[in-house]
Amino acid sequence: MKFRLHIAKFLSPPLILVGGFMLIITIGTILLMLPISNQSGEHLAFIDALFTSTSAACVTGLVVVDVGTTFNLFGQIVIMVLMQLGGLGFMTIATLFALVLGKRISLKDRLLLKEAINADSMEGIVRIIRKVLIFSFTIEGVAAVILALRWATEMPFWQAVYYGAFHSVSLFNNGGFDLFGNSFQYYTGDWLFNVTASVLVVSGGLGFVVLNDLFEFRKRRRLSLQSKLVLSVSGALIGIGAIVLFVFEFTNGHTLASLSWSEKIYASFFQSVSTRSSGTSTIDITQMRQATQFFFILLMFIGASPGSTGGGIKTTTFLIMIGAVYAMIRGNKDIVFFRQRVPKELLMRALTIIMVSLIIFMVVVMLLLTTEDAPFLSLMFEAASAIGTVGLSVGVTHELTVWGKVIIAFTMFIGRIGPLTIAYALRPRKEKKLYRHPEGRIIIG
């Protein structure tokens, strides 16, 4: 019998993805509301449970209640499972169970998997998913052991094991949740933690297609254009972000000034990595200079790479627009990377994603300015963190009104699913036109 997810024929893959995430968030909300999830033994308020479930399933990390002190072991495990489901995607996890049970994957399910990981074709999609699952669980497991051994020196062994597993899942899936209450500010100068956490965040943010490409590099001895672009722009953004943070915060007594040189470097690098979509920190974000916070808004808006556990407009979208600007300035008709031309359709898609995301971002900021009593830059930072599913905050999240929580929760959902996916899910069936309008001339610039 073929493996099927009981998908109605009239439902498109984008609509299935939207509905799947809504189902995960709903189940998470119900579980987190239950008294068995909370240390107080009482029901958690619906809006707080919804916000936390959305933040976990959309792997963001913004919180309105402290995870370590509000939720007990059961509640924290619910959050960890939500992050794993939200990071890898419910279709990927469903495929895992199908493979374990020896079921076949139908053609429509393969189409849905292609949409879920942003692959360019269905060729070898199940093989890619299998390798991604192996890679993901392996790196999470190895990192969990490393972190557990590190924390076993300062807490009971089994607590260290649990902390290692929870934070390994959180970091790899760019979840942004932690059990320490102040993210990882205790480990600013800890090289072992910084290296392990950075590898987790970067690996989760590269994208499943790129992970598969790297997985097979020893066999093929070459990388696809997608992988070359993702690795190049990700490395450049991390490097630029680290340099900007180091320069702007070097004399700030609340962030880097009091740290040693090695701690300054660790903190600058880790915080730049974190803006890719991780949402964790080793220094106090609220004490950063406004110039640094604004630059972080730009990095969070760009986000991680396509088909990854992170959000944002994606690194390749940003790079295509930079390539378009460069080509226009140079008088070239084509956008070329590594001697390969980018199709015009991708440029239109990239422009659409950026414009839709900017419109959503501006609307969210305007709504927050209406409902919340906080500085403009702080609300702008919060909106960028939500739409980029990053999870960094300058202290506004805990003070949100009910309407503010609803706005941010909805923004996190849009940021994780992607504005275009939601648009495709809601649009009517496309009818092919049998004609084209005549070309017109417009003066711009």
Q: What is the pTM of this model?
A: 0.87
Cβ–Cβ under 8 Å, residues 200 and 171: yes
pLDDT of 120 higher than 60: no
Between vectors from CA 177 to CA 318 and to CA 263, what angle results, nearest 5°? 75
Looking at residue 121, its pLDDT comes to 55
Looking at residue 131, its pLDDT comes to 77
Q: What is the pLDDT of residues 200-258, one digit of tens each?
A: 999 888 877 788 788 777 777 788 888 899 999 999 999 999 999 999 999 999 999 99
Q: Alpha-carbon torsion 304, 119, 137, 13, what sign?
A: positive
Ranges assigned E (strand) in 142-289? none
Looking at residue 2, its pLDDT comes to 45
Looking at residue 99, its pLDDT comes to 54
pLDDT of 73 higher than 60: yes
φ, ψ (nearest 5 deg) of residue 260: -75, 170
Q: What is the pLDDT of residues 245-297, one digit of tens each?
A: 999 999 999 999 999 999 999 999 999 999 877 888 999 999 999 999 999 99
| C-alpha–C-alpha distance, residues 358 and 349, integer Å | 14
pLDDT of 94 higher than 80: no
CA distances from 167 to 57, 70, 74, 288 (A): 15, 17, 16, 25
Of 153-167, 232-246, 424-438, least confident by mean pLDDT is 424-438
Query: Which residue type occupies 10?
Result: F
pLDDT of 122 higher than 70: no
Share the mean pLDDT of the chain: 85
pLDDT of 434 higher than 80: no
Looking at residue 7, its pLDDT comes to 45
- Tokens 């990377």 appear where? 337
